[in-house]
Structure 1
């Protein structure tokens, strides 16, 4: 076995013993192993920190206006779904309703729907309806008053099974 000097006190000791008998410092091989393990752990930690930083740099934050637009779209879609279900419940044959288009004003207080329905006699017809502050208006005059020529935007209404 090889004889080496203790790095702390200089005593000559065998390379394989765990501690120096004179100063109680860790043996030469054990100290190297611990330092090597600590170095590996530090390298792994730095690699994860670097990877996290790199991924964060490539992440694009949405502008505030875009986040607001998405929230408004979700709100209008939910209002549109609620209004469509209410409209559907007021039809003679609710299962025959087929939505053609749906539009709303910016704050969602006016929702306008164009749809086809089958009346009591079995005739398919095109109809229009407007919801103004939660009130249903199926008249042509109401449609022209609230929906025609106004600043409206299309909304997406996801159909729910009945």
Structure 2
């Protein structure tokens, strides 16, 4: 067995001893093992962080304008669904309503619908309606005032029943 000096107090001790009898510091081999284990753990942690960073580099974040546009589209879709359900509830034969198109202005305060319905006499007809600031307007004058010759955009109304 080899004799080595304690790194803390300088006492000569055997290499295999666990603690220095003089200062209670860890023995030479045990100290080397702990440092080796800690070094391996640190290398693994750094490698995992590096791998995570490398994998994240491939992800492309959406531009802020695109995120805002998606939120606006979702908001308009929800408003369109609400307005279409309100319109449907006001028809003589609600089950006959088939939505053909839905358009909106940029902020969603005006929603315009073109749809087909069956009236009380059983005759199928095409109709138009404008939903303006929470009020439903089914007149031709309302359609011309709010929906014709305006900057409008199509919206998706997500509902299997419309």
| Shorter-chain TM band | 0.7 to 0.9
Q: What's the C-alpha RMSD, in Å, of the aligned pairs?
A: 2.2
Paired residue for 2:139? 139
* C-alpha displacement of 1:151: 0.8
User: Is the 1:6–1:27 Cα contact (8 Å) retained in structure 2?
Assistant: no
* C-alpha displacement of 1:158: 1.0
Tell me the SS of whatever aligns to 2:78: helix
* C-alpha displacement of 1:7: 4.7
Closer/same/farther in 2, CA of residues 90 and 144 from structure 1, 3 Å limit: same
Tell me the SS of whatever aligns to 1:44: helix
Deviation per CA, 1:85-104: give whole Å up to 9, x if none. Answer: 11011011112211111000
Deviation per CA, 1:92-141: give whole Å up to 9, x if none. Answer: 11122111110001111111111121222333222111112222111223
Tell me the SS of whatever aligns to 1:107: coil
Choose 74-83 or 17-26, whichever is displaced more: 17-26
Paired residue for 2:47? 47
Paired residue for 1:24? 24
User: Is the 2:110–2:146 Cα contact (8 Å) retained in structure 1?
Assistant: yes
In structure 2, C-alpha distance between the alignment counterparts of 1:70 and 1:82, rounded to whole Å: 19
- Number of residues paired by the alignment? 160
In structure 2, C-alpha distance between the alignment counterparts of 1:123 and 1:129, rounded to whole Å: 18
TM-score (normalised: structure 2): 0.86
In structure 2, C-alpha distance between the alignment counterparts of 1:107 and 1:76, rounded to whole Å: 8
In structure 2, C-alpha distance between the alignment counterparts of 1:33 and 1:161, rounded to whole Å: 70
In structure 2, C-alpha distance between the alignment counterparts of 1:98 and 1:6, rounded to whole Å: 92
* C-alpha displacement of 1:29: 2.2
Unaligned runs of 5+ in 1: none
User: Is the 2:103–2:152 Cα contact (8 Å) retained in structure 1?
Assistant: yes
User: Is the 1:11–1:22 Cα contact (8 Å) retained in structure 2?
Assistant: no
User: Is the 1:103–1:112 Cα contact (8 Å) retained in structure 2?
Assistant: yes
Unaligned runs of 5+ in 2: none
Paired residue for 1:116? 116
Matched, 1:6 2:10: no
User: Is the 2:11–2:22 Cα contact (8 Å) retained in structure 1?
Assistant: no
In structure 2, C-alpha distance between the alignment counterparts of 1:92 and 1:4, rounded to whole Å: 103
